[in-house]
Amino acid sequence: MFRYIVKRLLISIPVLLGVSLVAFFLVQASGDPMAIYVSNPNISSEDLIRLEKTYGFDKPKAVQYFYWLRNTLKGDWGQSFLTHQDVFTMIGERLGNTLILMFTSLLVTLTISLLLGIYTATHQYSFSDYFVTGFSFFGYAMPTFWFGLMLIIIFAVKAREAGLPYLPAAGMYPIRGDRNFGQLLLHLVLPVTVLSLSSVAKYTRYLRSSMLEVISQDYVRTARAKGLSERVVLWRHAFKNAIIPLVTLVMLDIPFLFSGALITEQVFAWPGMGRMYWEHANWVDYPVLMGIILLVSSLVVVCNLIADISYALIDPRIRVDG
Amino acid sequence: MTESTTALERLNGQQKNPPSIWGLALRRFLRHRAGVIASAVFLLIVLIVALGPLTFVSYDAAFRPNPLLVNNAPSAEHVLGTDEVGRDILARLIYGGRISLTVGVLAMVVALSVGTILGATAGYFGGVVDSIIMRFTDIMLSIPGIFLIIALSVFFGPSVSTIVLAIGLLNWMTVARIVRSMFLQLKEQEFVTAARCVGARNARIMWTHILPNAIAPLAVAATLSIGSAILTETSVSYLGLGIQPPLPSWGNMLKNAQDVIWSAPWVATFPGLMIFFSTLCINFMGDALRDALDPRMKL
Amino acid sequence: MSKRAGLIVAMLVVASLVLGACTTPEPQVIEKEVEKVVKETVVVEKEVEKVVEKVVEVEKAEDTTPKGTVVVGVWQEPKGLIWNIFYDAHANDLGASMYYTPVTTDENDELVAQMLEEVPTVDNGGVSEDGKTITLKFKPGFAWHDGVPVTAEDYKFTWEFIMDPATVSQTTAGWNMIESVEVIDELTAVVTLSESYVPFVASTLVFPILPKHALEGVADPGNSEFARAPLGNGPFVFQEWIPGDRIVVKANPDAPIPPKVEEIIFKFVPDMNTLLALLRTGDVDVAYDLRETQIADIVKMQNVEVIALPGLSIERYYFNLRDPQDLTQPHPIFNDINVRKALMMGMDRWSAVSGILQGYGEVAITELDNHPWQNTDLEPVPYDPEAAAALLDEAGWVMGEDGIRVKDGVRLSFRHSTTAGNQVRENLQLLFQQNLKDIGVEMIIDNYQSATFFGGCATDGIFGTSNFDVMGFTNSPASIDLAQEWSDFFLTSSIKDCETNPAGSNAWGYSNPTLDEQMACALNELDPEARVECIKAAQETIYNDYFTLYVYDRLDVFAVSDRVTGVNPTVFGGHSYSYAEWQVVE
């Protein structure tokens, strides 16, 4: 096992290199970083030439990649072409906000999925099964930006106008007023609703199947035969075993918690990394984009490794070698 | 003697037509009532969308701009109202449905093909091959889909085929994982060893022996990915990278309506509902399919 | 004067005031406070005793303590707060709250002096006869927010800072004409230009000057603390910048022109619909740079007023006069001026404005619509499909079997390109596509991402490689005065060519020697009247060459909540010239 881990970690180096290469050229292919200056009618031709030279855009792409790689390996993630800030600083400024949003959503998703998964597994084919399942699909089937906007209109605008208790429409903290934990929680309600409801379907389905499989196992029948109450059977035996594979699923999702939910952050004006990503992607600000991609890909490698190991531990039929 | 023979005959007689695997599956499918209703609704949508433009919906209604009829509320003449360029929304929903559903199905085919080939190869051969393919999957997973879509749009121009390719290439990784794990499990089974003993070649073992056993999870994944593709197309349209005018799709109709949400809400409501209901139906269908084929599937 | 004497004088002054008020309520005595006390005096006309009390109070107490908070909704966050390095409209608008400028525009869109004693002109001797020497006389009383007074040294430093390659300014236009700056004394600077440049005053003096003592010697200023927390000298002082969320500024108690509002919060909301929701709930008071298509939504809000001004931004379509496949050859379809004219006449811009834009916009005529120098003799190109069809017939384009005209085996089919994802542009394209189809012309919609659309030669950008038939986007003649970069779109010397002239902006290959002369005159003619003549003549030349279709004038759309007054947006000043006048009324 130890050798396996070391081998995987060693292999991850060329993988990350591969990611950076593919990502760099994909990003470059998506447009011209000079375009933002060209589209600005107040910048003259001479200024355009000067800017191009300063940022090194006139050099061949391979050369630009080489400079980027060399600096990154030295620990210098570069500066944004748009804001001139260090990429590291920029990511640091936004990372916390994204993590707050994403981890809260994950928590809510898991809680809801657990309840729904168990319920639907034990009430298979009943009407409430369909209803609850349908509910789990609800968030998934709604386009995110539309769902978010509807929630804002109903709970932030209309509720307020009707004199009912209302929720804040956007942002992380109130515009006027104190920035405290209570306000943060209030501001989290709507974006977390959108995010968690859209993932609930996936986890619920997984848990339902896991539960169904476990319930039909022999040891559960034994427990029932022994006369244990249904509740004990469910929770102590079935549930615990059904949950273990869930870990791998969560592991695989974690890297994407860091890139944030782009559209949700846009709609709710949440100052996170997803939004920053999109704003800089539009104008091909590749140091920032490469920094975020590198962060996410390192996490993908690590989390995949953990997921594969735990998968092997669960099902010894799967040999992890090579 | 005769009695037991008669009993045996009686037993055999009853089992003259033993139910096949597919028959059992169908019965289990039909037991899932929501799935059945959803399938019927979805079929209805597909029929309307496919036959509409050939019969009761005119091309002009869906494509001809009419500045005098911009953002009109639903009326007798335009049952669902008109959009921001004066076109009939119902007509556009039908034409748009063709594109959205086609994109969904074709993207699924792309994802399924690529994912199956790579996943099967990785799972069956194991070792270095598995490593390389899985690491390649990791690379593709790390790169945000946005870039893939933008880059492809720039190379090939933002057309329907580009969107199909882009969405397909975003989703093959999950398929590959599923197929790989199936192959990892199944290649240890006795029937595979048996086939090898007989001298069957690898490719044959993979495609004729193992793969059919993986049909169940693949079928479910395929169904669900259609829904996922429709939603991805919607998100892509929100960011301005989707199907280009004058072609309608439910996603770009929803996005185009964003400007008039407050003053003309019907322009957004109907495409939104179509997306919602089709995805809902597809998900119920996928659920029913899974319960029918193998309820223990962890998809 | 000794302290005691001063005290006696003060008491005498107060006494005389009191006496003066006692006898007759003479407005002259309290002349200074008239604006502030006017309400009281009129109301209290009869009760003389009360007036007396009020007079004394106003002298000491500040009735004008800045009160209240105004929230401005901004959909694009600035990249940094040093204006020459991070040069975009939103950053400039925001930064204007923290900086006074040598000259500015007022509520009538006139150029007025703010930090200078007067606007330098040839008449008042501020500008020399040959246009090469400009004398700047600063008013005393302006200080940086850390207390250091603003001097002419700061102006000279600003010039050096902008021109320093290490600063990486985005724009040096106008400043690059300066040959030298001589600081005569604390408040006077003499600027010498390398050649006469008439737009100098209006194009450079409307921008802030930067503090020498804070920025001199700073390495990589774009990445410095100053860029995230600037030191200004204006009506508001920088408080904090929470990335992705907001920038907060507070009233400057020592400002020579004191503000009436205590705090302004610039909140970043990237989604337009969310911004509208916030306007509706009252969380946001002021929003600007909104789209015309949203006006209908805002009009429905009870507590918000919409102000839509016909601005200087004009949506236009440029016809490529060169063959995109081979730039040395003329365009196979557009090289005939009658074809271009016919196409322009075949697009119904009036329906576009009344139908698709719901009336929010105006059909455009020239490059300088709504500008004081617009050539008002010119009429918009009419919408006349019959005349257009006739022109095409005469030009030899015969209707083909598929409904598209053909001539010499070439179909009258062209690509129309603009930025992808822009709702209004796409809608207009759809309408015009239909209009043109009706007269036998095929228009193919071919849009691109902004970064590709405006891309340069190195990345095969559409603009850079002139790879288009018709290209549409919004442009404007910069601001109050025309500037060099504006003429770059028309001059023969600016024709874009990836080999020889990659930075030229004339991507459509337009060349007209008469226009070149008129443009030169427009930028350099010293006699103001002759200059305006040239500018108007230039518009007519462009008009008669039918190579740009001016589609519609875009409106500058502002939304202001009823609880805020004093915004009064204008064409040149936008909403940001009046920060000091904003007031919260509740």
Provide the 8-state DSSP code for B77. S
Domains, chain A, with CATH or none: 87-314 (1.10.3720.10)
Confidence of residue B6 (pLDDT cuts 50, 70, 90): low
Under 8 Å between Cβ of C370 and C533: no
Rounded-to-integer distance, Cα C394 and Cα C336, Å = 12
pLDDT value of residue C5: 54
pLDDT value of residue C64: 67
Confidence of residue B293 (pLDDT cuts 50, 70, 90): confident
Rounded-to-integer distance, Cα B12 and Cα A316, Å = 41
Residue A267 sits at φ, ψ, to 5 deg, of -65, -40
**What is the nearest CA distance from C174 to chain A, expressed in angstroms?**
10
C445:B244 CB<8 A: yes
pLDDT value of residue C478: 61
Average of pLDDT values for B42-49?
92
Taking a contact as any Cβ pair under 8 Å apart, which residues of chain B between 214 and 253 contact chain C? 239-241, 244-246
A143:B275 CB<8 A: yes
Rounded-to-integer distance, Cα B201 and Cα B195, Å = 9
Mean confidence (pLDDT) of chain A: 83
pLDDT at residue B259 is higher than 50: yes
**Chain C residue with Cα closest to B263:** C297
Sign of the dihedral through C-alpha C112, C113, C118, C124: negative
* Burial bucket for residue C124 (CB in 10 Å: 0-12, 13-18, 19+): exposed
- Whether chain B has a CB inside 8 Å of the CB on A63: the answer is no
B85:C352 CB<8 A: no
Look up residue C535 and give its two tokens: 């500018």
Rounded-to-integer distance, Cα C567 and Cα C576, Å = 8
Of B65, B154, B239, the CB nearest to C452: B154
**What is the nearest CA distance from A132 to chain B, expressed in angstroms?**
11
Rounded-to-integer distance, Cα C561 and Cα C304, Å = 4
**What is the nearest CA distance from B72 to chain C, expressed in angstroms?**
11
**Chain A residue with Cα closest to B37:** A130
Query: Greater confidence, B193 or C80?
Result: C80
Under 8 Å between Cβ of B221 and B172: no
Which of these ranges, A100-109, A225-234, B160-169, C262-271, has the smallest mean pLDDT? Answer: A225-234
**What is the nearest CA distance from C154 to chain A, expressed in angstroms?**
23
Of C296, C420, C448, the CB nearest to B263: C296
pLDDT at residue B275 is higher than 70: yes
β-pairing, C236-242 vs C246-251, is antiparallel
| A5, A28, A129, A145, best to mutate vs chain B, most B CBs in 10 Å | A145
A35:C452 CB<8 A: yes
Rounded-to-integer distance, Cα B96 and Cα B123, Å = 39
C348:B67 CB<8 A: yes
Neighbours of C, requiring at least 3 CB pairs below 8 Å, are A, B
Chain B residues with beta carbon closer than 8 angstroms to that of A14: 135
Query: Greater confidence, B208 or A101?
Result: A101
| B60, B71, B72, B85, best to mutate vs chain C, most C CBs in 10 Å | B85
pLDDT value of residue C21: 44
Rounded-to-integer distance, Cα C29 and Cα C22, Å = 12
Mean confidence (pLDDT) of chain B: 83
pLDDT value of residue A126: 77
Provide the 8-state DSSP code for B242. S
Got the DSSP string for B115-160? HHHHHHHHHHH-HHHHHHHHHHHHHHHHS-HHHHHHHHHHHH-S-H
pLDDT value of residue C29: 39
Q: How far is CA B165 from CA A239, A274, B97, B143, in A?
A: 40, 24, 19, 16
Rounded-to-integer distance, Cα B294 and Cα B288, Å = 10
User: Which pTM does this prediction carry?
Assistant: 0.85
Asked whether the bond before B53 is cis by omega within 30 degrees of 0, the reply is no
In degrees, rounded to 5, the angle at the alpha carbon of residue C491 between the alpha carbons of residues C490 and C497 is 95
Rounded-to-integer distance, Cα C320 and Cα C318, Å = 6
Rounded-to-integer distance, Cα A96 and Cα A258, Å = 9
Under 8 Å between Cβ of C575 and C553: no
pLDDT at residue A81 is higher than 80: yes
pLDDT value of residue B295: 58
Which of these ranges, A95-109, A142-156, B156-170, has the smallest mean pLDDT? Answer: B156-170
Look up residue A245 and give its two tokens: 């594979």
Under 8 Å between Cβ of C383 and C345: yes
Say how far residue B149 (Cα) sits from the centre of its chain.
Answer: 19
Q: Which of B85, B89, B92, B93 is nearest to B69 (CA)?
A: B85
Provide the 8-state DSSP code for C174. T
**What is the nearest CA distance from B150 to chain A, expressed in angstroms?**
6
**Chain A residue with Cα closest to B130:** A322
C296:B260 CB<8 A: yes
Of B34, B127, B238, the CB nearest to A130: B34
**Chain A residue with Cα closest to C164:** A50
Chain B residues with beta carbon closer than 8 angstroms to that of A141: 227, 231, 275-277, 279-280, 283
pLDDT value of residue C242: 93
Of C227, C451, C486, the CB nearest to A84: C227
**Chain C residue with Cα closest to A49:** C503
Query: Greater confidence, C381 or B59?
Result: C381
Rounded-to-integer distance, Cα A114 and Cα A99, Å = 22
pLDDT value of residue C1: 46
- Whether chain C has a CB inside 8 Å of the CB on B154: the answer is yes
The second-level CATH assignment, the architecture, of C312-555 is Roll (3.10)
Average of pLDDT values for A264-293?
89
pLDDT value of residue A31: 79
Rounded-to-integer distance, Cα A257 and Cα A103, Å = 7
Say how far residue C319 (Cα) sits from the centre of its chain.
Answer: 26
Rounded-to-integer distance, Cα A110 and Cα A152, Å = 24
Digits of tens for pLDDT over chain C (586 positions)? 455 555 555 555 445 544 544 444 443 333 344 334 334 433 434 444 443 444 444 444 455 688 899 999 999 999 999 998 988 888 889 999 999 999 999 888 889 999 999 999 888 889 998 889 999 999 999 999 999 999 999 999 999 999 998 888 888 888 988 999 999 999 999 999 998 888 888 888 999 999 999 999 998 898 999 999 999 999 999 999 999 999 999 999 888 888 999 999 999 999 989 999 999 999 999 999 998 888 888 888 888 999 999 888 899 999 999 999 988 999 999 999 999 999 999 999 999 999 888 888 899 999 888 888 899 999 999 999 999 999 999 999 999 889 999 999 899 999 999 988 788 898 999 999 999 999 999 999 988 888 888 887 777 788 888 999 999 998 887 677 777 778 888 899 888 888 888 778 899 999 999 999 998 888 888 888 899 999 999 999 999 999 899 999 999 999 999 999 999 999 888 899 999 999 998 7
pLDDT value of residue C34: 36
A321:B126 CB<8 A: yes
A175-201 pLDDT tens trace: 988 889 999 999 999 999 998 888 888
Give B187-195 contacts, CB < 8 A, sequence gap 24+. Answer: B187/B123, B187/B124, B188/A317
The second-level CATH assignment, the architecture, of B21-54+80-292 is Orthogonal Bundle (1.10)
Q: How much of chain A, in percent, has pLDDT values that exceed 90?
A: 20
Under 8 Å between Cβ of C105 and C570: yes
| B29, B100, B138, best to mutate vs chain A, most A CBs in 10 Å | B138
pLDDT at residue A218 is higher than 60: yes
Confidence of residue B284 (pLDDT cuts 50, 70, 90): confident
Q: Give residue limits of the domains in chain C.
A: 7-59, 69-309+557-584, 312-555
Rounded-to-integer distance, Cα A121 and Cα C296, Å = 50
Q: Taking CB atoms and an 8 Å cut-off, how many pairs form between chains A and B?
A: 150
Q: Give residue limits of the domains in chain B.
A: 21-54+80-292
DSSP H or E stretch at residue C261: none
* Burial bucket for residue A92 (CB in 10 Å: 0-12, 13-18, 19+): exposed
Q: What percent helix, strand, coil does chain C show, rounded to 5?
A: 35, 25, 45
Of C272, C297, C430, the CB nearest to B263: C297
Rounded-to-integer distance, Cα B17 and Cα A5, Å = 54
Query: Greater confidence, C397 or A46?
Result: C397
Residue type, C71: V
Q: Which are the contacts of C172, defined by CB distance < 8 A and separation ≥ 6?
A: A44, A46, A47, C84, C162, C163
Look up residue C25 and give its two tokens: 């309520």
Confidence of residue A56 (pLDDT cuts 50, 70, 90): confident
Rounded-to-integer distance, Cα B270 and Cα B250, Å = 9
Look up residue C300 and give its two tokens: 């429905």
pLDDT value of residue C114: 93
B146:A149 CB<8 A: no
Provide the 8-state DSSP code for B259. G
Rounded-to-integer distance, Cα A23 and Cα A72, Å = 14
Chain A residues with beta carbon closer than 8 angstroms to that of B150: 30-31, 281
Under 8 Å between Cβ of C114 and C103: yes
Taking a contact as any Cβ pair under 8 Å apart, which residues of chain C between 453 and 492 contact chain A? 453-456, 458-459, 461, 463-464, 473, 475-476, 478, 483-486, 488
Q: Which of C45, C23, C41 is nearest to C33 (CA)?
A: C41
Rounded-to-integer distance, Cα C213 and Cα A79, Å = 26
C503:A171 CB<8 A: no
Q: How much of chain B, in percent, has pLDDT values that exceed 90?
A: 23
Residue C270 sits at φ, ψ, to 5 deg, of -75, -25
Chain A residues with beta carbon closer than 8 angstroms to that of C71: 175-176
Look up residue C396 and give its two tokens: 């030899």
| B29, B131, B192, B298, best to mutate vs chain A, most A CBs in 10 Å | B298
Chain C residues with beta carbon closer than 8 angstroms to that of B71: 358
| C169, C275, C281, best to mutate vs chain A, most A CBs in 10 Å | C281
Look up residue B37 and give its two tokens: 């209703």
Of C456, C459, C476, the CB nearest to A41: C476
Rounded-to-integer distance, Cα B108 and Cα B168, Å = 6
Residue with tokens 């079929």: B43
pLDDT value of residue C307: 93
Of C450, C459, C475, the CB nearest to A41: C475
**What is the nearest CA distance from B260 to chain C, expressed in angstroms?**
7
Does the predicted interface ipTM exceed a cut of 0.90? no
CATH T-level assignment (fold) for domain C69-309+557-584: D-Maltodextrin-Binding Protein; domain 2 (3.40.190)
